[in-house]
Amino acid sequence: MVIVVGNPANTNCLTASKSAPSIPKENFSCLTRLDHNRAKAQIALKLGVTANDVKNVIIWGNHSSTQYPDVNHAKVKLQGKEVGVYEALKDDNWLKGEFVTTVQQRGAAVIKARKLSSAMSAAKAICDHVRDIWFGTPEGEFVSMGVISDGNSYGVPDDLLYSFPVVIKNKTWKFVEGLPINDFSREKMDLTAKELTEEKETAFEFLSSA
């Protein structure tokens, strides 16, 4: 397994995969778990629970400010019961506005405040990412991971390294299939795919001229 963390992580990961064609494309992934963990933390803070009580948030797309943190399919444990995050929060404006931008801009905000990157949070996210590859995802849970987009059912172009919801078993990841995508999500998912397509073209132009 090859895991890429350094930015631009998705496009770096795709470039690494293209440069090592003997390694299966599925063995390359990039880290969007930090964004995933941040999204869980924002929801938990808002509801006064722990991040462990929140599951199945999704980071779609690029590890950049166009990423789309999606909680349409997320669940939270409240008073021992699992409920949908939208139902629990009853605050569409926050979920479609401030929540999205906070997760998108979190890395920049941390650097601005600390004058340093969020090294410990990133290290924790890498551990989470590797642990799930090694031991699999818990039953009924999925995680976000930047993986090759080939064969996805969400209308994301093939041959991009894009963050999807995945489940992992026997050290093999699979797309979570069949999640309904509303118009708001569609627009955000397409926007981050467009950025990744442009990044890819720029990177490959550079490589072919090098």
What string of DSSP letters covers 150-162? TT-SSSPPSS-EE
Cβ–Cβ under 8 Å, residues 154 and 189: yes
Q: Is 73 a catalytic residue?
A: no
What string of DSSP letters covers 37-79? HHHHHHHHHHHTS-GGGEE--EEEB-SSTT-EEE-TT-EEEET
Cβ atoms within 10 Å of 98's Cβ, excluding its own? 13
Cβ atoms within 10 Å of 128's Cβ, excluding its own? 16
Cis-peptide, bond into residue 165, ω within 30° of zero: no
Sign of CA dihedral 196, 96, 38, 51: negative
Catalytic residue among 36, 63, 73, 129: 63
Report the alpha-carbon distance of residue 128 to residue 136 in Å, rounded.
11
Report the alpha-carbon distance of residue 145 to residue 57 in Å, rounded.
12
Cite the active site residues. Answer: 63
